[in-house]
């Protein structure tokens, strides 16, 4: 074999190797793109509709309503007002509500805003720093990112695929079109013995970080309320601080504890300072069949309550507006 033929053969072999490598790289790239696309579709079509936190975060990042509700599970289950986006989420503390208010309205002019105002907001257990996931609410401008690369999902992608092939995604919550959640009832008040109700009340009043301290104005929550109201009222928002309904058995027990009244006094002073409305609707619903358990309204209860809430917060201002 002559030198020219050997050179040609070597050159051909190199071209072949390069072609194989390029094809392999192309196949790997197409596989990666296909996997990323399929995983992103999986997250958006299966995970987000069934994972209530991801669903809620997506609503927050993509929302544009001027009228918004902020709160925890009480407002998430209990408020479904037409024309309002409900950005409440179970276990949201006031410090997280503040984070949401500032980031949601960073580029949106606030209109009517309902902020939950409960006495347990000043309990010691409610003053802790928000969890790391709260940082996800600071990225509102990045609403078109790929979910699979976020901290919320990247460590669970394998689990998502396993769930898909092992029975699918299920939950006990039904997301509402305007935000907020509907939860399946745990039990009927009418079918449970009185001792269970008393146990729930004692747990609410004395435990689970619910009992407020005797100096609400010195808590982190108080600072958050002040900053939210200063921010919203300075931008012309019509704000309503709202205390949600509780069963009569619970409100009767709370009246006997001075710290709960101190919290009401704080909200009344706060409302006067910022010239907004505070409505204590803790006793607005007397029928215990309208509650899920000792704290939250059920779906029928939410339907009964919302007209009362809207009237208490905004009806007077509506009547003062000129008719069109």
d(CA 217, CA 267): 10
Task: Calculate mean pLDDT across residues 38-51.
Answer: 83
Neighbours of 140 (CB within 10 A): 18
pLDDT digits (tens, 9 = 90+) for 4-33: 555 666 677 777 788 888 888 888 988 888
Percentage of residues in the chain having pLDDT higher than 70: 81
Alpha carbon distance 35, 146 (integer Å): 13
pLDDT of residue 218: 93
| Superfamily (CATH) of domain 65-133+172-317 | SGNH hydrolase (3.40.50.1110)
Indicate the pTM of the whole model. 0.76
CA proximity to 294, closest of 213, 185, 172: 185
Closest CA to 291 of 255, 248, 243: 248
pLDDT at 195 over 70: no
Residue 189 has a pLDDT of 40
* CA neighbor of 248 nearest in space, from 189, 304, 303: 189
Where does the pLDDT of residue 202 fall: very low under 50, low under 70, confident under 90, or very high at 90 and above? low
In this model, does residue 255 exceed pLDDT 80?
no
Cα–Cα distance for residue pair 23/17, rounded to 1 Å: 10
Domain spans in the chain, listed from the N-terminal domain onward: 65-133+172-317
- Please give the DSSP secondary-structure letter assigned to residue 71: -
**Tell me, what's the pLDDT at 23?**
87
What is residue 24's predicted lDDT score, i.e. its pLDDT? 87
Residue 131's pLDDT band, with cuts at 50, 70 and 90, is confident
């Amino acid at each position: 074999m002559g030198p020219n033929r050997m050179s040609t053969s070597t050159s051909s072999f190199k071209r072949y190797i390069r072609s194989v490598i390029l094809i392999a790289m192309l196949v790997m790239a197409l596989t990666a793109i296909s996997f990323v696309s399929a995983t992103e579709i999986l997250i958006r079509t299966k995970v987000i509709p069934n994972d209530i936190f991801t669903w809620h975060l997506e609503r927050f990042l993509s929302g544009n309503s001027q009228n918004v509700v902020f709160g925890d599970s009480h407002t998430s289950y209990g408020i479904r007002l037409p024309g309002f986006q409900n950005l409440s989420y179970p276990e949201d503390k006031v410090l997280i509500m503040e984070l949401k208010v500032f980031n949601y309205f960073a580029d949106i002019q606030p209109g009517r805003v309902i902020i939950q105002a409960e006495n347990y907001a000043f309990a010691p257990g409610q003053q802790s720093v928000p969890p790391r996931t709260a940082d996800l609410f600071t990225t509102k401008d990045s609403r078109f990112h790929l979910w699979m690369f976020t901290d919320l999902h990247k460590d669970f992608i394998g689990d998502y695929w396993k769930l898909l092939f092992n029975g699918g995604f299920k939950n006990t919550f039904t997301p509402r079109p305007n935000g907020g959640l509907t939860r399946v009832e745990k039990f009927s008040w009418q079918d449970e013995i009185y001792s269970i109700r008393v146990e729930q009340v004692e747990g609410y009043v004395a435990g689970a970080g619910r009992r407020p301290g005797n100096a609400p104005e010195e808590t982190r929550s108080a600072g958050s309320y002040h900053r939210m109201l200063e921010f919203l009222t300075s931008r012309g928002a019509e704000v309503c601080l709202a205390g949600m309904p509780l069963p009569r058995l619970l409100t009767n027990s709370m009246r006997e504890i001075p710290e709960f009244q101190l919290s009401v006094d704080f909200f009344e002073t706060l409302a006067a300072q910022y010239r907004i409305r505070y409505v204590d609707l803790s006793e607005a619903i007397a029928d215990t069949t309208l509650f899920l358990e000792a704290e939250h309204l059920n779906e029928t209860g939410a339907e009964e309550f919302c007209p009362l809430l809207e009237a208490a917060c905004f009806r007077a201002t509506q009547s003062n507006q000129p008719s069109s």
